[in-house]
A and B are shown apart, each in its own frame.
Chain A
Amino acid sequence: MADAAPPSKSRDLDKLLLRPGNLVGPTFDPGVQLRDDLQEYARVLVVGAGGLGCELLKDLALSGFKNLEVIDMDRIEVTNLNRQFLFRLEDVGKPKAEVAAKRVMERVSGVNIVPHFCRIEDKDIEFYNDFNIIALGLDSIEARSYINAVACSFLEYDSDDNPREETMKPMVDGGTEGFKGHARVIVPGVTPCFECTIWLFPPQVKFPLCTLAETPRNAAHCIEYAHLIKWDEVHSGQAFDPDNPDHMKWVYDEAVKRAELFGIPGVTYSLTQGVVKNIIPAIASTNAIISAACTLETLKIASGCSKTLSNYLTYNGVEGLHTKVTEFVKDKDCLVCGPGVLIELDTTVTLKKFIDMLEEDPKVLMTKASITYHGKNLYMQAPPVLEEMTRSNLELPLYDLMDKIPKDVLHATGTINKDDKKSSGLRKLRVVFKGIDGVTDMDMAGGA
């Protein structure tokens, strides 16, 4: 077939980005400019360079993105090789982020990937603000919760409590377990954030300690006994390290002894590792599916070339194949992504005065408020030891306590009196100080 057009590396992608369509996002503006802008201006951070992260990097590099960075604190292990396809046996022990970035750049010319071999908490917040989209390939709730909090912290609301689009930091999040997985889109302020729906994650099963000590019934009980009770008894002071093979072997041997004592079958080394490290089974194909779905969403958010997922996709390949898209709703009072209550103050207002004001403010109506500001406890009503430690702040101006920052968020907890009913509550408050440079341009006229 003769093709008149000059050869283009983005032959297939061009069809999607250069042509108009009907089933597209509201801001879709097809053309060469769009393709080039994606390459030049879209900066995507991939968090995690494991099973999902490797796939995400490859998929993004082949979906028109050229400015990528990846962050991961782990080194490559042998058990990664059945799915983390960017790694080889000779890479074992090297940082995942660095090897992954190198391999993708070798294969796909023109793509630039900056690796960061460190913990996500090691980077300051501004590091994350440099990216337009954050793609999450993580396996822990803690890490997701952290990145979510960071991304949501950039979000600002206007005086009508509408989220400001230019402060939104969209995330796409994937997760897999065996043949199952999920992909979701989080646009803070628009779709529910991770914290709005944290209940989606089932709590981990924990055995009662007395069962472990007295009435073990299965292999996992014997293993957990060795891990949680026996270890401390024998190695007082030395912390158990799940990555130390000697430690693992010790737990395994103890579990075997205990299982023999009680006539319980089934303790194996593999199960010991599974129980102690809470290993989630993982296969290449599921990671591929979920990552590619996340990549498509990233492309759709950035380019508008098709309507974005709203907002949570589950994939289940255990029996047959089932996918389902659920539109979860935001928790409007979410402490992480919600707008909170806007409060205007003079710079002279003391903390005590502020706490009194919260009782009267019709949108707050909170008595006995305790106040915390970015991890600093400004005032605590209880327990007495903390009340004492924070009491001296009461007479200081709140503006000074907030390091003279003209507008920022703080949190209050206390008793909320609404409709003659008392309940305990936690509120996010957006405090704006009047008459400070830099806030005058904010439209306060429409405020409450």
Chain B
Amino acid sequence: MIRLFKVKEKQRELAENANGGSPIKKQSAGELRLHKDISELNLPKSCSMSFPNGKDDLMNFEVSIRPDEGYYFGGTFLFSFQVSPIYPHEAPKVKCKTKVYHPNIDLEGNVCLNILREDWKPVLNINTVIYGLYHLFTEPNSEDPLNHDAAAVLRDNPKMFESNVKRAMYGGYVGQTYFPRCM
């Protein structure tokens, strides 16, 4: 290709090229795929989204979930999503911003959801993740605990679990831990 290089180098030396067609910002393949995911979102009424950095930053967004049944009925739970440029090769990073008494979410907001870690596959999308999160609220499970205490209560005494959840959502203490109101 040396002949081409030579031609180009000479052009380069002659003048700054007049072609104004070069793009300003590079959009990664991950961003494009995310664009597709988001433009095709089909969320239940109980979920809504916001984009804190405006309409052009899709890589960082928030999802709020208001479960319409189950233990967590009436609460609002906010999740932050961080998507990598090599999405969907890598799962989005999801944290729960609302402090919640939940067997599968710890007090730091870490979420134990298989598709966010060991079972993530590039064919999955943002929609599946949001549905997965939603299901954590309608069907919390005591078998994959991240909050050990909450899981034990759910397993051994569902009634008490229910009242603990209520207490936490109204804003109050469960054991030593204070939960701000999220109703």
Contact = CB atoms under 8 A, between A and B. Distances in A.
A166 B12 CA distance: 13
Nearest to B63: A383
Nearest to A129: B22
Contact of A204 (B55, B56, B90, B108): B90
A42 B24 contact: no
From B5, B18, B23, residue with most partner A Cβ within 10 Å: B5
Nearest to A300: B1
B2 A146 contact: no
Interface in B12-41: 12, 18-33, 35-36, 38-41
Contact of A229 (B2, B4, B58, B106): B106
B118 interface: yes
Contacts of B183: none
Contact of A208 (B5, B12, B114): B114
B29 A336 contact: yes
Contacts of A198: 29, 86, 89
22 contacts: A37-B6, A42-B5, A132-B5, A141-B89, A142-B86, A145-B85, A149-B29, A207-B117, A210-B112, A213-B146, A302-B5, A375-B31, A376-B56, A380-B55, A381-B39, A385-B48, A385-B50, A386-B49, A390-B55, A405-B21, A407-B21, A414-B39
A203 B26 CA distance: 24
**How large, as a class, is the contact surface on chain B?**
35 or more
B1 A301 contact: yes
A41 B6 contact: yes
A223 B90 CA distance: 21
Contact of B148 (A41, A170, A214, A411): A214
Interface string B85-124: 1100111000000000000101110111010011010100
A305 B148 CA distance: 66
A168 B1 CA distance: 10
B120 A203 contact: yes
B156 interface: no
Contacts of B146: 209-210, 213-214
A165 B106 CA distance: 55
B33 A210 contact: no
**How large, as a class, is the contact surface on chain A?**
35 or more
Given A132-B8, A208-B144, 13 more contacts: A42-B5, A43-B5, A149-B29, A153-B26, A214-B144, A214-B148, A232-B110, A302-B2, A374-B23, A383-B38, A386-B39, A408-B21, A426-B33
A438 B18 CA distance: 10
A294 to B, nearest CB: 16
B51 interface: yes
B42 to A, nearest CB: 7
A206 interface: yes
A233 B41 CA distance: 33
B9 interface: yes
Interface of A: 27, 29, 34, 37-38, 40-43, 125-126, 129-130, 132, 141-142, 145-146, 149-150, 153, 165-166, 168, 170, 195, 198-199, 201, 203-210, 213-214, 228-229, 232-233, 236, 301-304, 335-336, 370, 372, 374-377, 380-383, 385-386, 389-390, 405-409, 411, 413-414, 424, 426, 438
Nearest to A232: B108
Interface of B: 1-9, 12, 18-33, 35-36, 38-43, 48-51, 54-56, 58, 84-86, 89-91, 104, 106-108, 110-112, 114, 117-118, 120, 122, 144-146, 148
B26 A149 contact: yes
A257 to B, nearest CB: 17
Nearest to A302: B2
B21 A41 contact: no
A146 B23 contact: no
Nearest to A156: B21
Contacts of A228: 110
Nearest to A165: B4
A252 B38 CA distance: 40
3 closest cross-chain pairs (CB), A and B: A370-B39, A210-B144, A413-B36
A26 to B, nearest CB: 11
A390 B56 CA distance: 10
